[in-house]
Structure 1
């Protein structure tokens, strides 16, 4: 997903900027237990000009920095954990379905099961962290 696509998905009212509420909704889709204070810290860091909105330029800078992150493994682990909602170390089709639904992406359970099958190298019905890393480093990123 490009930074433009990500920005457009978060910007629910399509006004060209991400409000605190839109940002909070997006973050809580992945981390429902995150506090408002934690979300505010993240939002404030991204809102470089302090206008209480994240515009496409501010978002792009953040996106570029995260893509060049030195510790790719840690970034991937964090992304994996967002989808591994029950913390069992593997991602099921239903976990993908729940997270995507929270993000407003209404993929069917069958589509989510197809995503899992597409990267499930050991055919156990789940996406392990190693399979997730392979998926995220390949052209399969579009699956999620």
Structure 2
């Protein structure tokens, strides 16, 4: 295990592995530039080629044109080590709350997974919602979103 991975808990490493596997759409064990672009588009960002090259350069530390899991961990581990501003959290929330209702619904969550080319069953969608939806109203509020993102 690399030095960067030792600073993370097993739960955090599993979360990063799950995210990496979700982004690795062709299951090659790496994230390519085109996969990174599709991820950003799925999250309602419209990256320019220049921005995409900049992100790839930052993440692809060995310069081979793709992002391996260890490289992904090196960049993403800061997620667990920093506090996000309210503005950053609201911007992230908006990526999912596409109708600006103030809630993330099951259909909005399903749409994000669809844009990531991940078919998710209704049962799994219910599981995901129940894990995050603390007041059991069938949707994710901003407060619930913040709680799940900032959990330790």
Tell me the TM-score range normalised by the shorter chain.
Answer: 0.7 to 0.9
> Which residue of structure 1 aligns with residue 118 of structure 2?
105
**RMSD between aligned residues:** 2.8
Q: Which residue of 1 aligns with 2:80?
A: 67
Cα distance in 2, alignment partners of residues 69 and 88 from structure 1: 28
Report the Cα offset of residue 80 of structure 1: 1.9
Asked whether the 8 Å contact 2:37–2:47 carries over to 1, the reply is: no
Q: Is the 8 A contact 1:94 1:112 kept in 2?
A: no
SS of 2:28's equivalent in the other structure is coil
Q: TM-score, normalised by structure 2?
A: 0.71
- Over 3 Å counting, the alpha-carbon distance change for 1:93 and 1:63 in structure 2 is same
Task: Indicate yes or no: 2:46 matched with 1:21.
Answer: no
- Structure 1, unpaired ranges of 5+: 140-144
Contact 1:92 1:127 in 2 (8 A): yes
Matched positions, count = 138
Mapped contact 2:60–2:67 kept (Cα < 8 A): yes
Q: 1:77 matched to which residue of 2?
A: 90
Shift of 1:58: 0.7
- Counterpart in the other structure of 1:30: 43
Equivalent residue number for residue 88 of structure 1:
101
Q: How far apart, CA to CA, are the structure 1 residues paired with 2:21 and 2:56?
A: 17
How far 1:101 moved relative to its partner? 1.1
Deviation per residue, 1:72-127 (Å, 9 max, x gap)? 6555434322211233332122111100111222224575466446515273x432
Unaligned runs of 5+ in 2: 1-13
| Moved beyond 6 Å, runs of 4+ | none
Q: Which residue of 1 aligns with 2:54?
A: 41
Tell me the TM-score normalised to structure 1 length.
Answer: 0.75
Aligned counterpart, 2:8: none
Distance 1:9 1:112, change over 3 A: closer
